[in-house]
Structure 1
């Protein structure tokens, strides 16, 4: 019985993890753009992540800017995100992944070349 209990405890610790909300923002961007352009539309909700595997030690250092860039680059006409939620992912004990997740609605700049009729 003790072996079963020990196996369950080790298994749940090895598979455990948490996602921590780091920030909520109304508008966020890692790109340079003209905020006075005035021809912005709201796009779809997207998620960008920057994750690295962990096998006793992490195989890289995640960056929240990279996660934001990955979300914004889902559309070539996007310049930022609105209603943004930034989260830190800690899904590892000895094995698993660590990283950042950025989720938000795309901000589409209709003044960019080829984006005039973008919906």
Structure 2
């Protein structure tokens, strides 16, 4: 009976994980863009993630900038994210993954070349 309980508890610890909300921002970007363009359009909600597997030790260090970049790069006309939420992923004990997630609405600059007629 004690061995079964120990195995169940150990299994739950190994399979457990959590996502921690790190930051909530109104606007966030890792790109340089013209704030005076005045042709910004709200785009769809996107998610960018930078994560690494864990096999006893993490096989990389997750980066918030990379997660934001991956989200912005979902559209070639996007220059930033609005209603941005940054989360840290901790889904590992001995095996699993760690990472950073950026989720927000794309800010699309319709004044860029090839981006006219958006919105």
Q: How many residues are aligned here? A: 119
TM-superposed CA distance for 1:4, in Å, is 1.2
The structure 1 segments of at least 4 consecutive aligned residues displaced by more than 4 Å after TM superposition are none
Structure 1 Cα separation of the partners of residues 105 and 11 of structure 2: 37
SS of structure 2 residue aligned to 1:114: coil
Structure 1 Cα separation of the partners of residues 115 and 70 of structure 2: 19
Structure 1 Cα separation of the partners of residues 89 and 44 of structure 2: 23
Indicate the residue corresponding to 1:96 in structure 2: 96
Alignment of 1:10-29 (within 5 A): 10-29=10-29
Structure 2 Cα separation of the partners of residues 6 and 52 of structure 1: 29
TM-score (norm. length: structure 2)? 0.98
> Cα RMSD over matched residues?
0.6
SS of structure 2 residue aligned to 1:75: coil
TM-score (norm. length: structure 1)? 0.98
TM-superposed CA distance for 1:118, in Å, is 2.3
Structure 2 Cα separation of the partners of residues 77 and 118 of structure 1: 9
TM-superposed CA distance for 1:3, in Å, is 1.6
